[in-house]
């Protein structure tokens, strides 16, 4: 499959796939364990949500910085540093005795992931030549990423019920160790560049502050509300910081994010598309999980197991999408995939308070899983199409920031809309109506993603660069930034 790729390409793919699985798993594995964490550590109800939110805050806030840092200081180096930090903080979280210790460990996990995640994509896009080889590699990365997120719900339920909540943190240790073993075996060391640009410190501060404040404000809407003056004040401050970031980047000689990158229809269109599709995907996980537990009264392990059909169909859709994209363009699969996911979520919206897994969940799970699988693989290929090797980390950080912001903002907005629709009622009928409304909006987000794919993405792929000898490749990877 990778016969014509550079030496050790298979080991690079294995390393980044295992690492991405751990990061994706951690996004969802904790959710089912929250009640057990609250009981064991004595969390106040208002503080418990920060076990999830602080991870999103640090991951989302530092992704752009992590992406640029791996371009400047070495992708392998940032990958290893991020993984070690992620693993050590997972151990600290598993051994936590106080609520603040677990929250601090989750923040550290987010920082480690913010270094490792952009490096995974950058290592792939600089190892595999643009075209079918890269599409297949990115398809594996995307499939593993999606499988980790989907299987995290199952793993969280099983571990919490049969091994204890601490294992939702400790399970990361053997996975991280395996990824580091692959690095030691076959990922070559970074080559010292002829000239290293300085890190854009001002841009880093503005981007991290702006994105971090935006994520912080959004995740606090569950207690502050969208209409609160404090919420609008912080949103305004985040907008000012991000506007300052754009102005700074337009003038910087070595920017954190080169704005010219967004002139590419592939890069700009894919980032908008990933924002909307991830918003719909995260919301779907949230509402369907709550529906099964709070309306159908299913336990944690049963709820996690119920996502297996979704996970299987998602992986199948990802495999099909990878084969089609290798022969055509990402746009060919993105449009029907987004529409299929929209149809599945629209079907989900017919959930009933008197329903069951077989009548209300299984069918929509299959359709939605296939649709999401068709989207997640080509969207990564689209976001990195035509990007120079020296800016691979930058493009990766941008796409992952769009993914994180889409999931965080979309989930917060849709959860608020569903809660307002439900009001103070807590019965199965009221909850069911709120979740159904949220699923309708999630379907609309995927339909909007299909429109973006039709309007923004080119119909043809840009010409692939001519093959280069290894020495030329190294010079391109580590050379001076334009």
- 199-237 b/e (C-beta count within 10 Å ≥ 16 → b): ebeebbbbbbbbbbbbbbbbbbbeeeeeeeeebeebbee
The reply to whether 154 and 275 lie within a common domain is: no
Query: In 3-state terms, what secondary structure has residue 182?
Result: helix
Asked if the structure places residue 206 within a domain, the reply is: no
Closest CA to 114 of 90, 86, 149: 86
Mean pLDDT of the chain: 82
Structure token pair of residue 421: 């629709």
Average pLDDT on 264-273 reads: 90
pLDDT at 445 > cutoff 70: yes
Please check whether residues 82 and 168 belong to one and the same domain: yes
**Has residue 297 got a pLDDT over 80?**
yes
Q: How confident is the model at residue 347 (pLDDT cuts 50, 70, 90)?
A: very high
Which of 160, 187, 214 is a domain's end point? 187
pLDDT, tens digit, 9 for 90 and up, residues 224-249: 778 888 889 999 999 999 999 899 88
124 in the same domain as 31: yes
Full residue range of the structural domain in which residue 139 is found: 7-187
Q: Are residues 172 and 290 in the same domain?
A: no
pLDDT score, position 273: 93
- Using DSSP's 3-state secondary structure scheme, residue 353 falls into coil
**Among the three residues 187, 220, 249, which one is the final residue of a domain in this structure?**
187
Q: Which residue has the higher pLDDT, 260 or 362?
A: 362
Domain presence at residue 396: yes
Say how many residues make up the chain: 482
Does residue 61 surpass a pLDDT of 70? yes
Tell whether 56 and 162 lie within a shared domain. Answer: yes
Q: Specify if 107 maps to a domain.
A: yes
Of the three residues 187, 203, 223, the one that is the final residue of a domain is: 187
User: 8-12, 99-103, 127-131, 455-459: which has the highest mean pLDDT?
Assistant: 99-103
Calpha distance 69→381 (Å, rounded):
22
pTM, full prediction? 0.78
CATH code assigned at 448: 1.20.1250.20
Residues 145, 264: one domain? Answer: no
Residue 311 lies in a domain: yes
Q: What is the spatial distance between Cα 433 and Cα 419, in angstroms, rounded to a whole number?
A: 10
Token pair in block for residue 372? 């999401």
pLDDT tens digits, one per residue of 92-135: 999 999 999 999 999 999 999 988 988 887 888 778 877 777 77
pLDDT value at residue 442: 94
pLDDT for position 337? 94
Same domain, 181 and 269: no
Inside any domain, residue 422: yes
In a domain, 202, yes or no: no
- Number of domains within the chain: 2
Taking 90 as the threshold, does the pLDDT of residue 200 lie above it? no
Q: Is residue 69 part of a domain?
A: yes
CA distance 111 to 397: 13
Asked if residue 181 and residue 291 are part of one domain, the reply reads no
Answer yes or no: do 308 and 452 share one domain.
Answer: yes
**406 lies in a domain?**
yes
């Amino acid at each position: 499959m990778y016969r014509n790729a550079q030496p050790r390409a298979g080991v690079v793919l294995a390393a980044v796939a295992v690492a991405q699985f751990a990061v994706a798993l951690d996004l969802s594995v904790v959710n089912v364990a929250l009640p057990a964490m609250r009981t064991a550590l004595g969390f106040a109800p208002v503080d418990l949500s920060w076990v999830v939110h602080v991870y999103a805050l640090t991951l989302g806030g530092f992704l752009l910085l992590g992406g640029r840092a791996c371009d400047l200081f070495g992708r392998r180096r940032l990958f290893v540093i991020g993984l070690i930090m992620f693993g050590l903080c997972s151990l600290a979280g598993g051994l936590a005795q106080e609520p603040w210790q677990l929250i601090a460990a989750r923040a550290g996990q987010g920082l480690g992931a913010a270094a490792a995640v952009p490096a995974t994509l950058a290592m792939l896009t600089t190892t595999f030549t643009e075209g079918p080889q890269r599409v297949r590699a990115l398809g594996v990365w995307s499939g593993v990423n999606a499988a980790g997120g989907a299987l995290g719900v199952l793993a969280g339920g099983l571990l919490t019920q049969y091994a204890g909540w601490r294992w939702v943190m400790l399970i990361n240790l053997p996975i991280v160790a395996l990824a580091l073993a692959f690095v030691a075996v076959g990922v070559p060391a970074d080559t010292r560049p002829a000239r290293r640009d300085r890190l854009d410190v001002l841009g880093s501060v503005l981007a991290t502050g702006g994105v971090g404040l935006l994520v912080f404000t959004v995740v606090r809407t569950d207690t502050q509300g969208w209409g609160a003056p404090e919420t609008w004040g912080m949103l305004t401050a985040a907008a000012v910081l991000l506007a300052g970031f754009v102005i700074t980047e337009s003038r910087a000689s070595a920017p954190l994010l080169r704005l010219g990158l967004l002139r590419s229809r592939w890069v700009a269109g894919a980032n908008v598309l990933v924002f909307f599709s991830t918003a719909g995907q995260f919301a779907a996980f949230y509402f369907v999980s709550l529906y099964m537990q709070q309306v159908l009264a299913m336990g944690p392990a049963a709820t996690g197991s119920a996502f297996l059909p979704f996970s299987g169909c998602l992986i199948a859709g990802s495999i099909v999408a990878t084969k089609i994209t290798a022969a055509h363009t990402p746009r060919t699969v993105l449009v029907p995939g987004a529409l299929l996911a929209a149809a599945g979520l629209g079907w989900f919206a017919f959930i009933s308070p008197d329903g069951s897994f077989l009548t209300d969940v299984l069918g929509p799970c299959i359709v939605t899983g296939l649709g999401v699988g068709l989207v997640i693989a080509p969207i990564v290929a689209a976001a990195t199409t035509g990007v120079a090797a020296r800016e691979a980390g930058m493009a990766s950080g941008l796409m992952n920031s769009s993914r994180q912001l889409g999931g965080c903002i979309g989930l917060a907005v849709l959860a608020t809309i569903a809660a307002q629709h439900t009001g103070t009622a807590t019965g199965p009928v009221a909850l069911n109506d709120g979740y159904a409304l949220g699923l309708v909006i999630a379907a609309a987000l995927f339909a909007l993603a299909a429109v973006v794919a039709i309007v923004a993405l080119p119909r043809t792929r840009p010409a692939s660069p001519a093959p280069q000898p290894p020495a030329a490749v190294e010079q391109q990877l580590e050379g001076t930034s334009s």
